Amino acid sequence: MKKWGRFAFWVIVLVALDQWTKYLAKTGLSKNIVIIPGVFELQYVENQGAAFGILQNKLAFFVIFTLIMGAVILLVYRHIPEEKGYGWIRLSTILIFSGAIGNLIDRVMNRYVVDFLYFKPIDFPTFNVADSYVVVGAISFVLLYFIQKKKVEEVLNKLERKKKSDDGNLADQ
């Protein structure tokens, strides 16, 4: 239970931070604010699609996809051992889940996601804190696969054994 309590605590904190920054952007960004000239700006964008503006106005798709991916993340998290040495793997899943929930809240409440962070030199699409959680969490998980390969494989193998066990139980019924 301690593991799930930590999970819930950090998800709530991270989603609250994401929603607070989006609220600040929505209420305070009537014009672009240059933070670092030629590099970084705050600019308010209502994104009805996904990354890079793809899949505009596909709310049902995003909600279903997020719920499925959220369930997968919860299953992965469930199989992460509580021992020391697995903290980074737990953090990666918490970041991904929190980012997904943060953007899901926007989609359901507003029918769009509030984006406001813009890196000018690379003309990267405007994004938000939840997007950052997902990207950092996913990259971390992939890097951890190579750095802590045995630990990540152990988690994924537990998940695969559970799936096979469940499939076998269904076949017996």
Q: Kindly name the residue from 115, 166, 167, 172 that is annotated as catalytic.
A: 115
Q: Is 131 a catalytic residue?
A: yes
Dig out the tokens for 106 from the structure: 């926007």
Q: Is 166 a catalytic residue?
A: no
Termini Cα distance of the chain: 31
Q: Kindly name the residue from 18, 106, 123, 131 that is annotated as catalytic.
A: 131
Dig out the tokens for 73 from the structure: 């993340």
Helix (H, G, I), strand (E, B) or coil at 118: strand
Instruction: Centre a 10 Å sphere on the Cβ of residue 40 and count the other Cβ atoms it contains.
Output: 14
Task: Write the burial class of residue 5 (CB in 10 Å: 0-12 exposed, 13-18 middle, 19+ buried).
Answer: exposed
State the catalytic residues.
Answer: 115, 131
